[in-house]
Structure 1
């Protein structure tokens, strides 16, 4: 089953009508000053707070496996509904979290199909390297996802 996922930036999510979504995953920087919150609780919102980094730096929050596990659990709860995933730019963290959800739903051996699906829904995707590597570990893919992403698109490996 192909999940219904849309990816956008923080700027875009503030402007769109959310009533058609079954869930929203908000990925925030640790330094955000004006966080996005869904006031009435509809659709349900999962808030993940970590920075777009691949190694520990100062007071920034490095992505952890529990962030991915929470997103996978949330997506499973949303089920067949439409999921909106956003981070600051809608390119790295949101794409990596979306890919985790997509690759889990496609199943083992379908990593290429999952990456192609991500590229269709977000042509600007540059998934965060750390998140992709952790997704491989969580789903037991033995680096198949990381290798596929590395061959098919550019990964984001940077510091804030």
Structure 2
């Protein structure tokens, strides 16, 4: 059984109105991945890192975050999590921006979406907060590739 945890970063959302987190959970469940936990934290580096490290300790195979990956001053998710991912997968962010470019044009350049592995070798995806962006990442990148990425890392 494959497990995943979801972390939403937002100053305005909670578990009840977190459409992107719910969308991620539904897509994972449909793909027969068990969602073990969902958290929502504000756009704050310490809160993000604390929640992420808390999720690490629950030992999911994957951690997927959404929100705070843009370039606004409040968008600090990338800054909080990039240091916690010693092994990055550059092709994920590159391809995500390429796909997004066809959907939203040059606004895709502002995305700092990324993927990698933390020190516990859990597969981590750092996604924008937009529900459409989460759906795009899941359907076109994450769901087709997560098994291969985990297999390669666990060799």
**Do they fold alike, i.e. is TM over 0.5?**
no
Which one scores higher on RCO, CA 8 angstroms, separation ≥ 6?
A: 1
When normalised by structure 1's length, the TM-score is: 0.35
More helix per residue: 2
When normalised by structure 2's length, the TM-score is: 0.36
More strand per residue: 2
